[in-house]
Structure 1
């Protein structure tokens, strides 16, 4: 702990020569009262989160739908930021393929339900957060109650099941609740907010307002890859991406992108909960690539996607 210097007053030297200015010593300002308070799990939030904002977070209830990679890390981060209640919904269990990027995935948690593992992690942080677990994940039977009782929804579901995302977005719209969504691309991420006004999710993915959940679940209606992958970084293997688009392989995903995604989603969530404006709202998204250092706000574009694919292919051929 820093020792406070003795309080000094302005003084003059006795017997000084006539005409000389008095010798002045400026006192150090007293230490603010909140700095002197005893340490707490959230004390380092001060200066970035005000006391009134911290109180608002303590009273907030956030639904995290899907807590594998991004969702799990978001749940942990929101706990460390002081969110009072978290509802974690995920029917999946940790598998070997999760070990490369999902923070709660370890050899000790393989085969365990993701929501239960992340809940244990959050409760162990010690901020006093209430953490509820929904082992069955988001279903048609529970989505209305889960969303309506929440102040904010984090959509951490897989982009390969857009019917779940659509169900969350439409339910949230009816309950006047915003949804935060993010997708990792290479070593980058794009993220956005789905406000509860208009068909924002449908516009983002190019879906008709009349599309049904069954249309997406049965794949009678599909979302093209360029709606999810805004542009292809030159460092991504085009042969792998072709297999991903054909459904033969899962999309490549690495830990840095998951961590980056969780960071921007958590920051956006906090902004919304305390009344700040987010950096982007659907159908616009904010994209940042940590490997290239490039950032931009844009809308999904078919032309941009295929142009980036052509450039990436040429670059690999030349290389």
Structure 2
């Protein structure tokens, strides 16, 4: 990432992203160039999001993360290499994005997203891409709430098994809070509601071969590189559609889950969010699993 550019090569934006033309027009490519995307969390999906969007030609980012790379990140995180071990994820991902597009304007929030910097993190942003760790639900709620207040579209793509579950929250549609309904709920039960809301179809549950690998008390669970890359592909496509106004996006309570292992795509519709009867049943089934029963 820090290597010198070989002689005879010079960066040129139009040439670098010329192979996008055809799927987007030249005018649309320039619109992508001017857009600004906020990405919170640069682990499994977050790093892949930034790199995928950079290759799409998006040149402006606000990115946030306070963590450093460790060996257990190697199986799924786009910027995890032995050369990046122990380094801040935010620095490595920013370097990689600038190595794709040296003209990138990247604002770094090295302490992660906090109450103190939330508005600055969302400043000038056209769309928010959520990739926060599963267990930081309170921070996630604050970011989605503030996006809605500021009129910023917000999207999340969860890596599940060998697939991805996607949700889009329009500033004028159903809110994150109304969909997940975790306000006033016991801390442990909030996670059950979040899992059920993110993945109403629960496509990956059938091929979990070692249930003991899921341990919510220790805040750990299995994840694959394939799922993270699928998240980035789905997210990048929907960011493109949103920024270029390429037709309507199905916002929550609609959701989409694609599982590559099963070769299955499901669109879900849960009016009322987690108050929907199917969701209440799913939450009841998830709660014992979280309690280790």
Shorter-chain TM-score tier: 0.7 to 0.9
* Structure 1 gaps, min length 5: 1-37, 309-319
The answer as to 2:78 corresponding to 1:108 is no
Are residue 204 (structure 1) and residue 182 (structure 2) matched?
no
CA contact (8 A) 2:162 2:260 kept: yes
- Choose from 102, 107, 123 the match for 2:98: 123
How far residue 282 of structure 1 moved from its aligned partner, in angstroms, is: 1.6
Q: Work out the number of aligned pairs and report it.
A: 263
Task: Name the structure 2 match of 1:20.
Answer: none
| Alignment partner of 1:257 out of 211, 227, 232 | 227
Task: Judging by fraction of residues, say which structure has more helix.
Answer: 2
Q: Is the 8 A contact 2:242 2:249 kept in 1?
A: no
Cross-structure match for 1:8? none
Displacement after TM superposition at 1:223 (Å)? 3.0
Quote the Cα distance in structure 1 between the aligned partners of 2:234 and 2:198.
17
Is the 1:183–1:261 contact (alpha carbons within 8 Å) kept by the matching residues of 2? yes
Which of 205, 209, 221 is equivalent to 1:233?
205
- Residues 67 and 278 of structure 1: CA distance in aligned 2, closer, same or farther (over 3 Å): farther
Q: State the alpha-carbon separation in 2 of the partners of residues 229 and 97 from structure 1.
A: 25
Aligned to 1:14: none
Q: TM-score, normalised by structure 2?
A: 0.82
- Distance (whole Å) between structure 2 residues aligned to residue 256 and residue 144 of structure 1: 33
Q: Is the 8 A contact 2:40 2:46 kept in 1?
A: yes
Distance 1:79 1:94 in 2: 21
Residue number in structure 2 paired with 1:189: 164
SS of the equivalent of 1:70 reads: helix
Structure 1 residue 194: Cα displacement = 1.2
Aligned to 1:48: 23
Structure 1 counterpart of 2:190: 222
**What CA deviation, in whole Å up to 9, does each residue of 1:263-302 have, x standing for no partner?**
1011111111111245431222100000111101114624
The structure number with the bigger radius of gyration is: 1
Q: Is the 8 A contact 2:174 2:253 kept in 1?
A: no
Shift of 1:54: 0.9
How far, CA to CA, are the matches of 1:174 and 1:95 in structure 2?
Answer: 36
Structure 2 residue aligned with 1:148: 123
How big is the shift at 1:180?
1.1
Instruction: Identify if the C-alpha distance between structure 1 residues 297 and 129 changes in structure 2 by more than 3 Å, giving closer, same or farther.
Output: same
Aligned-partner SS, 1:223 = helix
1:119-161 Cα distance to aligned partner (Å, 9 max, x none): 0001011362222211111010011122132111111101211
**Contact conserved, 2:174 with 2:251, CA < 8 A, in 1?**
no
Farther-moved stretch of structure 1 (51-60 vs 269-278): 269-278
Aligned match of 2:291? none
Partners in 1 of 2:238 and 2:248 — Cα distance?
6
The alpha-carbon deviation at position 303 of structure 1 amounts to: 3.4
Larger RCO: Structure 1 or Structure 2 (Cα < 8 Å, ≥ 6 residues apart)? 2
* TM-score, scaled to structure 1: 0.75
